[in-house]
Amino acid sequence: MVKRDFVEIRIHGRGGQGAWTGSIILAQAALLEQKYAQSFPEFGPERSGAPVTAYARIGNSPIHIHAGITEADYVIIIDPTLIYSAKYGLRPKAKIIATHSKMPEEIRSVLGLEDDVEVWVVDAVKIALETIGRAIANTAMLGAFVKATEEKIVSLNSLIEATKQILGPRLPEAAVNKNIEAIKRAYNEVKKG
C-alpha cells in the first residue's frame, strides 16, 4: 500500500460563514511554505445559512487525488449547530477542532467519540463577535487549527500572511487586521480535551 504524503481537512459551516474561504486561506498558507495544496467546496443548491462543506489537502509532494474527502484527518466546525457533522468520516487519530461554548470533554461525550480522536474547542463565534464585529468564525477557527496541529501543517506566520493575501483584495485593511486578531486569539484560547 502506498503511504499518503498529505493530510485531508474537512470544514463544516453554513453558507456565508466562509468555509470555502477558510480552505483557500489554508491552501495559500501551505503554498507559502512550498507545500502542495488543494482547496475545493462541495456545493449544491445551497443558500445563505444552509450547511456547506469545504475541503483542503496539504502535503509535501504533488497530490494526484481529485475527489471529495470521505475520511478526514482533521475536521473544523465553524458553526456550533453543525457539531454532529464532526463524528462522521474520521480517520483513526483524527482531530476535531470546533467552535462551541462547551468544554472539549462535553463535546467528546455528546459525540461518543473513540479515545484516539482529539477534540479541541474554542468559542470562535464569541471571538469573532468581539474582534470582527460579526459572527463569522472561519478565520478564528483557522488559528485554532494551527494550534491544534502544533504548526506542523502550516505555521501561524504563514496563516497570517495567507489571510492578508486572500482577504486583502476583498476587505479594507482594518477588517483584515480584525481577522488576524481573531486568528491570534483563537490560537491562544483553544483548549484540548
- Taking the CA of residue 14 as centre, how many other CA atoms within 13 Å lie in the half-sphere pointing to its CB? 13
Over residues 75-96, the pLDDT tens digits come to 999 999 999 999 999 999 999 9
Looking at residue 1, its pLDDT comes to 46
pLDDT at 5 exceeding the cut of 50: yes
Q: What cell does 45 get?
A: 443548491
Q: Are strands 72-77 and 90-99 parallel, antiparallel or unpaired?
A: parallel
- Tell me what percent of the residues of the chain surpass a pLDDT of 70: 96
Over residues 113-163, the pLDDT tens digits come to 989 999 999 999 999 999 999 999 999 999 999 999 999 999 999 999 999
Q: Note whether 91 and 72 are within 8 A (CB).
A: yes
Q: How confident is the model at residue 50 (pLDDT cuts 50, 70, 90)?
A: confident
Q: Note whether 9 and 26 are within 8 A (CB).
A: yes
Q: What cell does 39 get?
A: 482547496
Q: Which residues, 6+ apart, have CB-to-CB distance to 63 below 8 Å? A: 6, 36, 37, 38, 57
Looking at residue 45, its pLDDT comes to 63
Nearest CA to 127 out of 112, 137, 118, 138 is that of: 137
Q: Note whether 62 and 36 are within 8 A (CB).
A: yes
Looking at residue 44, its pLDDT comes to 66
Looking at residue 49, its pLDDT comes to 80
Looking at residue 193, its pLDDT comes to 83
Nearest CA to 168 out of 159, 156, 178, 176 is that of: 176
**Choice between 15 and 6, residue whose per-residue pLDDT is larger:** 6
